[in-house]
Amino acid sequence: MRATLMYGPGDVRVENVPDARIVAPTDAVVRVTLACVCGSDLHPYHSMDPSGEGAPMGHEFLGVVEETGSEVRGLKRGDFVVSPFAYSDNTCPICRDGFHTACPRGGWYGAGGVGGAQAEAVRVPQADGTLVKLPDDVDPALLPSLLTLSDVYLTGYHAAHMGRVGPGRTVTVIGDGAVGLSAVLAARRMGAGTPDAEGRGRIILMGRHKVRTDLGLEWGATDVVAERGAEGVAKVMELTGGEGSHVVLEAVGLMPAYEQAYGIVRPGGVISRVGVPQYEEAPVGFGSLFGKNAGLTGGPAPVRAYIEQAIPDVLEGRIDPGKVFDAEVGLDQVADAYRLMDTRANLKVLVRP
Amino acid sequence: MRATLMYGPGDVRVENVPDARIVAPTDAVVRVTLACVCGSDLHPYHSMDPSGEGAPMGHEFLGVVEETGSEVRGLKRGDFVVSPFAYSDNTCPICRDGFHTACPRGGWYGAGGVGGAQAEAVRVPQADGTLVKLPDDVDPALLPSLLTLSDVYLTGYHAAHMGRVGPGRTVTVIGDGAVGLSAVLAARRMGAGTPDAEGRGRIILMGRHKVRTDLGLEWGATDVVAERGAEGVAKVMELTGGEGSHVVLEAVGLMPAYEQAYGIVRPGGVISRVGVPQYEEAPVGFGSLFGKNAGLTGGPAPVRAYIEQAIPDVLEGRIDPGKVFDAEVGLDQVADAYRLMDTRANLKVLVRP
């Protein structure tokens, strides 16, 4: 079968690899209907150590179950499914708490002998716990939005959920990438974005790419701040009457975004991160978080916890997160998709095997 | 009047200073009935830059209002009061949110021209917002417990509150100082400490001073872990069935305690800090907090937010936080109190002017 491998920075190839097949009795093999490239795929695209074997890429997909292992109970050949970007058993105490990305039996696509989803097919470990069935007769126009439940929309949702967004809480989203815009949409869905008499409850989007921030405004942002660094902080403080933002959703993962976040968070507020941190150490002491009782939360989104409730939101038209996709390629053109996203020519690119 | 000044590491003196007096119309002057030395007073005692003038010390006190400024409405001469360790207006949006230690009109005793409480009297800025009246006829045996509402008990309470302690949540307290023990008492008061069938809901106290950990056990700890570092982490993981602790209350403020905290926090759990961090940067990336969706919260406790509800808990005997005091000195012996606490001969020392 054809699958995407990354060999080093900027070096993405589609090659013939052995067919995906059942390895453990809890596995399923899924033929991929629709996949895409993730902002997080650009991190290795910039800086991975060159690999002789190539790293399998892709972790977001819709597809059709082709084969199931002997212990799989809830799925059968022909089921149309969406997969979270991480697999998990959905039964252990950690999953029951809603933190599936830390499931002791879970793991990541493209690692540990599991293939990637930018491919014709993929092996899904812990298939019963991982895959969620979709109706067979979905309007094809809704497929991109359903694909965002694999990762991007529900990663934005996770940021807002962990930050306890709600009516009357001022929310600032740092980053106008697909996750940042999804966080705006999720914050609006949770009731932010209708400022009260004192101006609290705004959704402020920090970003400078007009096409993207326009989508943010369409999705519920009340203000756009294009400035960065100290100027950006000053602008948000001005918009919040000097109080700062109750919730800061940090969807970038770089240190300047973190610094911006603790600069604008209100005393007692919270910074919720879903951009994978490209740093390990960061300021957390009296001068950054502690002094103002600011909290820090977030991590890899356990999207499995949120998929079932999000499906009707998509099917019934309450949200349209698929608008983050602004281009589509075939599998053999996946290297183009990386290039288009890396140069910011496109926001997020569909891959149709 | 007599007041305590610190001139440098280990150099605490009681000297004659000008009498406390009204400066702003929102001030009160309070004659101190009972004060004490705080664990945080030991930080400058170890490492302050030598000062020619001396730094006024003390921020926990009960006392009697002696004089009020022209704009003070809710207090009068003769009122018996308890003061939070920080003053605040109790009316601004930040105070209304419950984060009085970040009040824009607030501040700290012993700084900015405001004296300390290890003294015969003290000026209280924002007196209406800061001071809380106590009954005149309080049983003198309860005064030490009421004094803990200035800081130590409610700082432990703040840690537990910010960590969202509750029934069924496993709580680990790092540190067997007066704040750590108070955090145990507060966690018990919030319903932790009754393990369920799967062992969740324990209160694990990490400390190695038997007299102190015995008080922790009396106050509701279900387990004591004397080991530190990797051994301590392994012990807590064993006690929690390999899952880790839902809530970690970090009452030390040093990096080894922080490292222990992220080693034992459960995926999706939270580290709540009230030990003033003696560091600014710390690990927060994929390998520490982010990877397991662990949160970080806490800061200087806005005890003003909690005093009113804690007073009946003390007066009606539901909690006895005054047990942290195991010695008492007169004001002129306050240097002894510092020494006794610094050498760990005593846990916390009362100062009776």
Query: What are the residues of chain A with a beta carbon less than 8 Å away from any beta carbon of chain B?
Result: 93-94, 97-99, 101-102, 104, 162, 198, 242-243, 266-268, 270, 273, 276-277, 279-300, 302
A339 burial (CB, 10 Å; 0-12 / 13-18 / 19+) is middle
* Residue contact A291–B300, C-beta within 8 A: yes
Q: Quick one: pLDDT band at residue A345, thresholds 50, 70, 90? A: very high
Largest CA-CA distance found in chain A, in angstroms, rounded: 62
Q: Closest Cα partner for B279 from A195, A282, A51?
A: A282
Pair A329, A274 in one domain: no
The ipTM is 0.96
Pair B117, B146 in one domain: yes
End-to-end CA distance of chain B: 11
Give CA–CA dist A54/A59, Å, rounded.
Answer: 16
Nearest to B282 among A93, A284, A298 (CB): A284
Pair A160, A197 in one domain: yes
pLDDT value, residue B198: 85
User: How far is A104 from chain B, CA to nearest CA, in Å?
Assistant: 10
Q: Which helix (H) or strand (E) holds A328?
A: strand A327-330
CA-nearest residue of chain B to A298?
B293
Answer whether A338's CB lies under 8 Å from A40's CB: no
Q: Quick one: pLDDT band at residue B249, thresholds 50, 70, 90? A: very high
CA-nearest residue of chain A to B266?
A94
Whether the predicted pLDDT of B299 surpasses 90: yes
Whether the predicted pLDDT of B275 surpasses 90: no
Q: Quick one: pLDDT band at residue B325, thresholds 50, 70, 90? A: very high
CA atoms within 13 A on the CB side of B352: 8
Nearest to B284 among A284, A290, A294 (CB): A284
* Residue contact A296–B295, C-beta within 8 A: yes
Answer whether B286's CB lies under 8 Å from B262's CB: no
Mutation target among A247, A290, A306 for the B interface, most CBs of B within 10 A? A290
Written as six digits, the tokens of B67 are 């004089």
Q: Quick one: pLDDT band at residue B124, thresholds 50, 70, 90? A: very high
* Residue contact A290–B267, C-beta within 8 A: no
CA-nearest residue of chain B to A242?
B104
Whether the predicted pLDDT of A232 surpasses 90: yes
Pair A9, A145 in one domain: yes
Nearest to A98 among B268, B283, B287 (CB): B268
Pair B251, B338 in one domain: no
Q: Closest Cα partner for B271 from B292, B289, B295, B254?
A: B295
Whether the predicted pLDDT of B210 surpasses 90: yes
Q: What is the dihedral of CA A302, A305, A309, A313, to 10 degrees?
A: 10
Pair A181, A218 in one domain: yes
* Residue contact A102–B284, C-beta within 8 A: no
Written as six digits, the tokens of B179 are 């704040």
Cβ neighbours for B345, distance < 8 A, ≥ 6 positions apart: B339
Q: CA B18 → CA A11, A296, B52, B54, B115, distances in Å?
A: 74, 44, 17, 14, 10
Q: Closest Cα partner for A20 from A7, A30, A12, A6?
A: A30
CA-nearest residue of chain B to A266?
B94
Reduced to 3 states (helix: H, G, I; strand: E, B; else coil), residue A316 is: coil
**What is the average per-residue pLDDT within B101-121?**
97
CA atoms within 13 A on the CB side of A215: 24
pLDDT value, residue B348: 98
Q: Quick one: pLDDT band at residue B8, thresholds 50, 70, 90? A: very high
Q: CA B240 → CA A131, B162, B167, B168, B171, distances in Å?
A: 29, 21, 15, 12, 10
* Residue contact A292–B243, C-beta within 8 A: no
| End-of-domain residue from the set A279, A298, A317 | A298
Reduced to 3 states (helix: H, G, I; strand: E, B; else coil), residue A217 is: helix
Give CA–CA dist B7/B14, Å, rounded.
Answer: 11
Pair A211, A311 in one domain: no
pLDDT value, residue A275: 87
Per-residue DSSP letters for A244-290?
-EEEEEE-S-SHHHHHHHHHHEEEEEEEEE-SPPS-SEEE-STTTTG
Q: Quick one: pLDDT band at residue A107, thresholds 50, 70, 90? A: very high
Pair A25, A147 in one domain: yes
Contacts 24+ apart (CB under 8 A), A314-317: A314/A142, A314/A145, A314/A146, A314/A149, A315/A135, A315/A138, A315/A142
What's the number of domains chain A is made of? 2
**How do A349-352 and A327-330 pair as beta strands?**
parallel
Give CA–CA dist B40/B241, Å, rounded.
Answer: 35
Share of chain B above pLDDT 70, in %: 100
pLDDT value, residue A295: 98
**What is the average per-residue pLDDT within B108-125?**
97
Q: What is the per-residue pLDDT across A178-204, written as a single tens digit (0 to 9) for each?
A: 999 999 999 999 999 999 988 899 999
Answer whether B53's CB lies under 8 Å from B18's CB: no
CA-nearest residue of chain A to B293?
A299
**What is the average per-residue pLDDT within B217-224?**
98
Residue B211 phi, psi dihedral angles, 5° rounding: -60, -40
CB pairs under 8 A between A and B: 133
Largest CA-CA distance found in chain B, in angstroms, rounded: 62
In chain B, residues with a C-beta closer than 8 Å to the C-beta of A292 are 99, 102, 299
**What is the average per-residue pLDDT within A65-90?**
98
Pair B33, B11 in one domain: yes
Nearest to A279 among B94, B285, B294 (CB): B285
Q: CA B275 → CA B161, B174, B229, distances in Å?
A: 15, 10, 18
CA-nearest residue of chain A to B291?
A299
Boundaries of domain holding A221: 155-298
Q: Quick one: pLDDT band at residue B199, thresholds 50, 70, 90? A: confident
Answer whether A64's CB lies under 8 Å from A78's CB: yes
Size (chain B), residues: 353
pLDDT value, residue A198: 85
Q: In CATH, what number is assigned to the domain containing residue A323?
A: 3.90.180.10
pLDDT value, residue A54: 96
Nearest to A280 among B267, B285, B292 (CB): B285
B120 burial (CB, 10 Å; 0-12 / 13-18 / 19+) is middle
In chain B, residues with a C-beta closer than 8 Å to the C-beta of A99 are 267-268, 292-293
pLDDT value, residue A197: 87
Top-confidence residue, B43 or B65: B65
Per-residue buried b or exposed e for B149-163, using 16+ beta carbons within 10 Å of the residue's own CB: bbbbbbbbbbbbbbb
Q: Quick one: pLDDT band at residue A47, thresholds 50, 70, 90? A: very high
Pair A86, A26 in one domain: yes
Reduced to 3 states (helix: H, G, I; strand: E, B; else coil), residue B159 is: helix
Q: CA B83 → CA B17, B93, B108, distances in Å?
A: 22, 21, 12
Q: What is the per-residue pLDDT across A6-33, written as a single tens digit (0 to 9) for each?
A: 999 999 999 999 999 999 999 999 999 9
CA-nearest residue of chain A to B270?
A297
Query: What are the residues of chain B with a beta carbon less than 8 Å away from any beta carbon of chain A?
Result: 93-94, 97-99, 101-102, 104, 162, 198, 242-243, 266-268, 270, 273, 276-277, 279-300, 302
Q: Would the pTM of this model clear 0.90, i.e. be above it?
A: yes
Top-confidence residue, A91 or A198: A91
Pair A132, A241 in one domain: no
Place of tokens 């001022």: A170
Mean pLDDT of chain B: 97
Pair B281, B195 in one domain: yes
Nearest to A277 among B104, B267, B286 (CB): B286
Written as six digits, the tokens of A48 are 């991975």
CA-nearest residue of chain A to B302?
A293
